[in-house]
Structure 1
Amino acid sequence: MSSLHFSIRRRRFSPPAVLATIYAVFIVLGAIALWLPFSSADHVTFSDAFFTAASAVTVTGLVVVDTGSDYTLIGQIIIAFLIQIGGLGLMTFAALLFTMLGLTIGMPQRLILRDELGQTGVSELLALVRVVILVAFTAEAIATAILMFVFVPEFGWTHGFWQALFHAISAFNNAGFSLFSDSLSGYVADPVVNITITLLFILSGLGFVVLADINRQRNWRKLTLHSKLMLSGTLGLILFAWVMFAILEWSNPATLGGLESDAARILASWFQAVTPRTAGFNTLDYAQMENSTTVMTLSLMLVGGGPSSTAGGIKVTTLIVLALATLAFFRRQERLNIFGRSLGMSEVMKVLALTALSIFLVAIGLFLASTTYKGDFLDLLFEVCSAFGTVGLSRGATGELDEFGRAVIVLIMFVGRLGPLTLAFFLATQSKPKVGYPEGKVFLG
């Protein structure tokens, strides 16, 4: 009986469970703060505030009310705070505070921090925390200063500064929240806004482990295998999406075809090529895009960015290992080889589990949401994939969801931010089989 009680307590207070609880508490507190009269307009309901808080903490960017007009300056500051906390990680800020106060961070807290940063060990966590904070605040400060050159002449010093700071925070954390009702569509041909915003979410989407490795080594040959996979995979996905988006939408009068110059079309193609990998901003209307472009965007949203980053999705490294495993199967190789390194079966099994679980969660979420949603099926699929990848792009279905549909999207955003494997490790039990069985054969394919 005592051993059972210990097992229950150990599961209840496991690091993934504590991490999920902390995020849930911040969503509830954020919802209450956004619902108060000084934060939002009178017509904003608690359901609206809860959805906004969940979207901010999970750095998704899906909205049911207009952020710029339906929330006051205080409400917008609360949203920016939730984005920053959710993007960089709640335990990251806690670890920084403990360090500044000279307090010791115990092993239980290190285990929670390890899960939040997507690491496998605890030896260099505090060094990584310092990298996260330094890179985030430096990048956001520089981006704010650059964006002020655009927003200050248009809105004045005070409002222009806030516009620049809010969008810098939202972009670096891959949140996709904008104070404009049409996101950044009004700046579709502005090179300063397009390049600054995209560089922010590409930088943070690489993952802080990669950034720390680049800063430490500064030589391609000395980089870790993970960094090489992330850099090459990110570059490949961006170039592929950039070219394909331009080809598919070039003559569409509702998107690229409606822009005045080829330079604007190329710039808009660049922005739409990189934003689906969990950034969430848009300079063109995704509801007006070709079906082929929508399908490509769905795939990019599911892939996402890198581990230990502000991005969601199954991650770029997962896609690469999955492709390598498929290639190795056809070549009848037992190990995966790339960049002079090999990957074993444990990595392949983890990738297969993550991919299968992600597909299952998206399918279940789509089914549940479709039971009450009466609109276009492709629009709903787009919203579900956007929620799971914590992207924030929308074709308009989010605003048409009822309370049940909103709850489903919130749950998907929550799982997408924590990570499917974190949820699985929380629910699973580790045990060794007491009985061995002879091998059997199953016919596949």
Structure 2
Amino acid sequence: MVLGFAALIAVGTIALMMPFSTESGKPTDLLPALFTATSAVCVTGLIVLDTPVHFSAAGEVIILVLIQLGGLGIMTVASLLSLVMFRRFGLRMRLTAQAETKALGLGEVRRTVFRVIGLSLLFELVVAALLTARLIAGYELGLGRAIYEGVFHAVSAFNNAGFALRSDNMMSFATDPFFLLPICLAVIAGGLGFPVWVEIFRHLRVSRRWTMHAKVTLLATALLLGVGAVGITAAEWTNPGTLGPMPWPGKLVAGFSSGVMPRTAGFNILDVAAFHPGTLLLQDILMFIGGGSAGTAGGIKVTTFALLAYVILAEIRGEPTVHVMGRQLPGAVQRQALTIVLLGVACVMLTVLILLVITPFGLDQVLFEAVSAFATVGLSTGITAQLPPFGQVLLVLLMFIGRLGPITLASALALRERGRRYELPEERPIVG
């Protein structure tokens, strides 16, 4: 998987360096092309070049293809890995002969891949149609241009990429609910993940049959969306640089949409550079948590965050085991969640430390940029293009690690789990 995504980034970089990919007809330098290709494949949205100004229609289509392939690749591979882990651990518990194979049949792989592609295209098609209609009716765009922008933004939204065909990203649509709400729905749908949608479609009327994963993902997503929307709207309500000048209906639309975007979508609805420091910190937290597993969103994932919250709650209550949604949480899963979170914090903090040393920017800006890259969000305070080349290379590596790291690490930890034939004597160190 890692080599496959690296190869796709390499091909995308070469394509974006070609003269036909730019409006000026001049080749793009290696580092900006690499940064853009990585941001597209890792469905991040951070940019060092103004997409609609620098790139030609051919360049924009290349970016769109990279976004689509990157999003589909993440959903497909993550879904297959989830299926492998379910097959291994589920059948082991049943003690059937089939458990010894621990492999997926070719037909099962094919069905999973086709379902992921079909689900993605369905959501993208519906959102593209809604956006196209709005661009024609509300902004008087021609049919061809409206379809082009509608498809581009639908694909970018569902894949949580954050690329847009306007220099101000989505700021010109900040108070338009007919444009932003379909975008938000696509962002949320892509961020939930394929396994959750499968369960919703299968057991729509019988939610008690949903697995712990689906329940935790939906509950945590709803709570974090509420916290983000209410928190950002309240904090920025009177800010003259963001929501302050808008009428109250527009404030509600822009505030809600800005609360959805840290789910790792990365569309700029408001001027992020004008946010209060408290709002930036809230967005840092929401971005780092991210979206659902086996979806297009990044971050450590809402399930990881929610499971650790249950672990803390059980420890506070003094309970010997952790119970989640009527099920006991295995100790191995708790260790895996803790490992992913701490390694994610280490990657972000190391990047922040280096950027603080090599750039003149403050902690708020640098932390926001690093978290946005690791969580593959794409929101920025506007410093991305001003970073030195080494700083941009760091963000490229962080985007790649943030996109593939949690998936590969979680799968490796789960599939490498093995029993131990002995235990050492127990001893309790002083904690706290």
TM above 0.5, one fold? yes
Residue 32 (structure 1) aligned with residue 14 (structure 2): yes
CA contact (8 A) 1:174 1:311 kept: yes
1:53 and 2:19 aligned: no
The match for 1:405 among 391, 411, 414 is: 391
Q: How does 1:19-418 map to 2 (within 5 A)?
A: 19-40=1-22, 41=24, 42=26, 44-89=28-73, 92=76, 114-115=80-81, 120-121=86-87, 123=104, 124-152=108-136, 153-218=139-204, 219-259=206-246, 261-418=247-404
Give the total of aligned pairs.
408
Q: Which amino acid aligns with 1:173?
A: N
d(CA) in 1 for partners of 2:343, 2:15: 34
Structure 1 residues 277-286 or 150-159, which shifts more?
Answer: 150-159
The aligned residue for residue 12 of structure 1 is none
Equivalent pair of 1:388/1:416 in contact (CA under 8 Å) = yes
Give the letter aligned to residue 398 of structure 2. Answer: I
Partner of 2:100 in structure 1?
none
Partner amino acid for 1:38? F
TM-score, normalized by length of structure 1? 0.87
Q: CA deviation at 1:191?
A: 1.0
Seen in structure 2, the aligned counterparts of structure 1 residues 416 and 118 have a Cα distance that, compared at 3 Å, is farther
Cα separation, 1, equivalents of 2:203 and 2:239: 45
Instruction: Label 1:421 to 1:150 Cα distance change in 2 as closer, same or farther (>3 A).
Output: closer
> What SS does the aligned partner of 1:177 have?
coil
Distance (Å, rounded) in 2 between the aligned partners of 1:22 and 1:59:
15
Residues 345 and 356 of structure 1: CA distance in aligned 2, closer, same or farther (over 3 Å):
same
Deviations 1:299-355, CA, capped at 9 Å, x for gaps? 000000000000000111111111110010011112222322221211111111111
The one-character-per-residue Cα deviations of 1:104-144 (angstroms, maximum 9, x if unpaired) are xxxxxx9x973488955454544332321111101111111
Does the CA-based 8 Å contact 2:299-2:402 persist in structure 1? yes
Q: Name the counterpart of 1:441.
A: 428
Distance 1:293 1:254 in 2: 13
Quick check: 1:118–1:307 contact (8 Å CA) kept in 2?
A: no
2-side partners of 1:58 and 1:33: how far apart?
16
Give secondary structure in 1 for the equivalent of 2:323: strand
Unmatched tracts of structure 1, length 5 or more: 1-18, 93-109
C-alpha distance 298-117 of structure 1, shift in aligned 2 (>3 A):
farther
| Distance in 2, Cα, partners of 1:113 & 1:249 | 38
Post-superposition CA distance 1:50-105 (Å, at most 9, x none): 1000000000000000111111111111100000010110794xxxxxxxxxxxxx
CA-based RMSD of the aligned residues comes to: 2.3
**Contact between 1:172 and 1:200, CA under 8 Å: does it hold in 2?**
yes
Distance 2:422 2:327 in 1: 36
Kindly state the Cα deviation for residue 155 of structure 1 after the two structures are TM-superposed. 2.8
> Partner of 2:20: helix, strand, or coil?
coil
Retained in 2: the 8 A contact 1:119–1:308?
no
Deviates more, 1:170-179 or 1:122-131: 122-131
Aligned residues of 1:304 and 1:314 also touching (Cα < 8 A):
yes
**How much has 1:424 moved relative to structure 2?**
7.9
Q: CA deviation at 1:440?
A: 2.8
Q: Which runs of 5+ in 2 are unaligned?
A: 88-102
- Alpha carbons 1:91, 1:116 under 8 Å: kept: no
Deviation at 1:43, TM superposition (A): 6.8
- Residue by residue over 1:247-289, the C-alpha shift from the partner in whole angstroms, topping out at 9 and shown as x without a partner, is 1111111111121x11100011100111011000121001101
User: Match of 1:63, as an amino acid?
Assistant: I
Contact 2:376–2:402 (CA under 8 A) maintained in structure 1: yes
Q: Deviations over 1:211-250 (max 9, x none)?
A: 0011111121111111111111111111122111121111
* Structure 1 Cα separation of the partners of residues 379 and 210 of structure 2: 33
Code of the residue aligned with 1:419 in structure 2: it is G
Does the 8 A contact of 1:44 with 1:70 survive in 2?
Answer: no
Match for 2:313: what amino acid? L
Q: Shift of residue 437 of structure 1?
A: 3.6
Contact 2:79 2:112 in 1 (8 A): no
- Aligned counterparts of 2:176 and 2:283: Cα–Cα separation in 1: 23
Q: Contact conserved, 1:245 with 1:293, CA < 8 A, in 2?
A: yes
Alignment-derived partner of residue 104 in structure 1: none
Q: What secondary structure sits across from 2:328 in the alignment?
A: strand
Distance 1:237 1:277 in 2: 9
Report the residue type matching 2:370 in the other structure: V
Shift in CA distance, 322/189, structure 1 to aligned 2, threshold 3 Å: same
* SS at structure 2 position matched to 1:419: helix
Aligned partners of 1:175, 1:299: CA distance in 2, in Å? 19
Percent same amino acid at aligned positions?
A: 38
Q: What is the CA distance between 1:408 and its match in structure 2?
A: 0.5
